[in-house]
Structure 1
Amino acid sequence: MAYFQLFTILAILAIFSPSISAKNYVVGDEQGWTVEIDYEAWAKGKQFYVGDNLIFKYLPGVHNVVEVKEKEFKECAAPSSTKPLTTGEDLIKLATPGKKWFICSVGKHCELGNQKVAVTVLSSPSSSPSSIPSSSSPNAAPSPSTSSPTSPGPDASSQSERSPTISSPSGPSPSTSSPSTSAATVGKIYGWLVVVGGIVGFHMI
């Protein structure tokens, strides 16, 4: 029974491995969320994916976090309809791909202190299709053209008999199949194989 439970746990881990691999990013790293930090430089070079988390660490009551639109981000204007986060350790899950903007709406921390950050969220690597090289079929290539020689010959009939006729292949082009399995599919297949192996091993005990 213990072996079956172990294999079941391994199968669940294999199936849900993409969500387990989500990363947590502390905004500003050890400096945290405060004024006079170049958050554009902090975000540069980092790859944020759907499922990752942004963590804003700061002193409660001193700063806050507000998610805004691009125009509001440039103007450092937080909308009155959006309630700011104020816990001092705010976790924001990046649930959708695209550009995300965040500012501090306390005083003039955004305007004068540059307390704002923008990140670009990419689709999860496990769900993005693998790049497939394009292949050209033989029918797509132009057929070679033949031109009759212009030099004078004995007569037209003998010249046509000596000229070979070249015909382009008209048979069906071979179909090419490209692999499109993603990491998530492989994980699921592996998970089911582990489950089946566990069940077989359990009955063999």
Structure 2
Amino acid sequence: MGEVYEVGDADGWTSVGHIDYKAWAAAKSFHSGDTIVFKYNNEFHNVMRVTHKNYNACNTTGAVATYTSGNDSFVIKRQRTHLYFICGFPGHCEAGMKIDIRVHNGSDAPSPLPDNPSPPPSPANVSPPPAPSSPPPEGPPAPAEHKESAAAACSGKVWMGIVAVAAYYLASPPVAL
């Protein structure tokens, strides 16, 4: 069994007091097996698990799940992912009631991520893959199809392309569970 984290600590999940949930989550190191607990007044708040896109837009339509008990717990089941949660009450997400739980791999320590990561520059003659309309699936990217000769496949340009594609997917927002 992992650690138990109460979102917002003693303040809980609330719009009162302007709690910085981004800073709260960044100061934690979440791992598979940990439990995330949301405690809140269910007359004024809820917890919605959403996609990365809906998290960024504070969009409550198409939520993965909505919870309203006032004491909701989530056991993290996967490593190297993000779990996105918002409050679905009007204006609450926009006021900061949203949290991105970044789950680390094994004993990895958290490392600060830029708010808007950009893909690394591409080497000459290698085009980056098109930006996905939704975050890429969790895990390694599918192998790219190449129509180049075996000699070209071993060239430095191809290896640089593979590195650029891998770096792009590592910098892309992960899929929410």
Q: Match of 2:55?
A: 73
Would you say the 8 A contact 2:50–2:62 is kept in 1? no
Would you say the 8 A contact 1:51–1:124 is kept in 2? no
Matches within 5 A, 1:74-113: 74-80=56-62, 82-97=64-79, 98-111=81-94, 113=95
- Please list the CA deviations of residues 26-61 of structure 1 after superposition, one character each: whole Å capped at 9, or x if unmatched: 000011001121001111221100010100000122
- Percent identity, please: 36
Q: Match of 1:197?
A: none
Q: Aligned letter for 2:12?
A: G
Tell me, in whole angstroms, the C-alpha distance in 1 between the residues paired with 2:62 and 2:83. Answer: 18
Q: Match of 1:46?
A: 28
- Please list the CA deviations of residues 123-163 of structure 1 after superposition, one character each: whole Å capped at 9, or x if unmatched: 344xxxxxxxxxxxxxxxxxxxxxxxxxxxxxxxxxxxxxx
TM-score by length of 1: 0.48
Greater length-normalized contact order (CA 8 Å, ≥ 6 residues apart): 1
Q: Match of 1:119?
A: 101
- Unmatched 5+ residue regions in structure 1? 1-19, 126-205
- Please list the CA deviations of residues 150-182 of structure 1 after superposition, one character each: whole Å capped at 9, or x if unmatched: xxxxxxxxxxxxxxxxxxxxxxxxxxxxxxxxx
Question: Once superposed, what is the RMSD of the aligned Cα atoms?
Answer: 1.4
Q: Aligned letter for 1:33?
A: W
Q: Match of 2:5?
A: 25
3-state SS, counterpart of residue 43 of structure 1: helix
Matches within 5 A, 1:183-198: none
- Unmatched 5+ residue regions in structure 2? 108-177
Q: Aligned letter for 2:6?
A: V
Which protein has the bigger helix share?
Answer: 1
Deviation at 1:81, TM superposition (A): 5.3
Q: Match of 2:115?
A: none
TM-score by length of 2: 0.55
Deviation at 1:79, TM superposition (A): 2.7
Point out 4+ residue stretches in structure 1 off by more than 3 angstroms: 80-83
Deviation at 1:107, TM superposition (A): 1.2
Q: Match of 2:37?
A: 55
Bigger Rg, structure 1 or 2 = 1
Tell me, in whole angstroms, the C-alpha distance in 1 between the residues paired with 2:53 and 2:65. Answer: 18
